[in-house]
């Protein structure tokens, strides 16, 4: 009796975990609305997001440049993406993860959940949420990171000037399509989006 009870208890736990994991990892369906809140007992320690380059992987190059407000003027733009990418490319085994600060913040800044995406597709911009907490957190992280990589030029007296705000410029450029691979000229035109000034 004890043996059967122990086996059943163990298998029961496994079954509940498996069901919750499938609900959380799967697409949003009517079932998600019914049992999603119960399944989210797994979050955040056993979170389930396994899209892994799916449904469609990134097919463009993304980067960020930043400039600082230095008193009444602003500094030149500095690239806060390329150095970390070069470090990642130069080390194949356990490469440094620094480049993820920018790439992850970019994903977080422009991320849309399933419902938001559908609203946008249907032209219901009036129902779209405003820039949410995760987007502003992403900008804050990028701003703080930018300050570690660059700063304001010194003033005429040689005194260093502390930046009071940072502005980010997001640049995306499509990779050459499959049919024109190898032709650098086939890359798309860069698309640019600028943030507001973010106080530091």
Least separation, in Å, of the C-beta of 1 and another protein? 11
Count, residues near another protein per rule CB under 8 A: 63
Among 30, 37, 56, 76, binds another protein (CB under 8 A): 56
186 is a contact residue toward another protein (CB under 8 A) = no
- Options 33, 37, 53, 126; binder of another protein; rule CB under 8 A: 53
52 counts as binding another protein under rule CB under 8 A: yes
Helices assigned H by DSSP within 40-152? 82-89, 99-110, 114-121, 133-149
Q: Tell me if 31 contacts another protein by CB under 8 A.
A: no
Closer residue to another protein, CB minimum distance, 33 or 178? 178
Which residue lies nearer to another protein by CB, 34 or 180? 180
Residues 125-184 that bind another protein (CB under 8 A): 133, 137, 140-141, 144-145, 148, 175, 178, 181-182
Dihedral over alpha carbons 50, 52, 55, 58 (to 10 degrees): 150
Q: How far is CA 175 from CA 89, 91, 107, 180, 185, in A?
A: 18, 23, 17, 10, 10
Check residue 111 for interaction with another protein (CB under 8 A).
no
3 state DSSP class of 70: strand
The token duo for 64 is 């960020």
CA-CA distance, 66 to 142, in Å (whole number)?
9
Phi, psi for 134 (deg, rounded to 5): -70, -35
Among the candidate windows 28-36, 43-51, 123-131, 152-160, which touches another protein by CB under 8 A? 43-51
């Amino acid at each position: 009796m004890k043996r059967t009870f122990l086996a059943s208890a163990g298998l029961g736990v496994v079954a509940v975990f498996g069901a919750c994991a499938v609900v959380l990892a799967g697409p949003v369906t009517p079932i998600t609305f019914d049992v999603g809140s119960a399944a989210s007992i797994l979050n955040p320690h056993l979170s389930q997001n396994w899209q892994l380059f799916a449904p469609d992987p990134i097919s463009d190059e993304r980067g960020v440049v930043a400039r600082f407000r230095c008193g009444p003027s602003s500094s030149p733009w500095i690239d806060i993406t390329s150095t970390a990418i070069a470090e990642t490319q130069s080390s194949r085994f356990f490469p440094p993860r620094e480049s993820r600060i920018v790439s992850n913040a970019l994903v977080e800044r422009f991320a849309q959940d399933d419902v938001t995406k559908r609203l946008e597709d249907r032209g219901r911009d009036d129902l779209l949420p405003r820039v949410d907490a995760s987007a502003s957190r992403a900008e804050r992280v990028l701003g703080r990171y930018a300050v570690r990589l660059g700063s304001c030029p010194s003033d005429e007296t040689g005194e260093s000037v502390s930046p009071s705000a940072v502005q980010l410029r997001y640049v995306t450029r499509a990779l050459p399509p499959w049919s024109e691979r190898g032709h650098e000229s086939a890359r798309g035109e860069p698309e640019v989006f600028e943030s507001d000034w973010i106080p530091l």
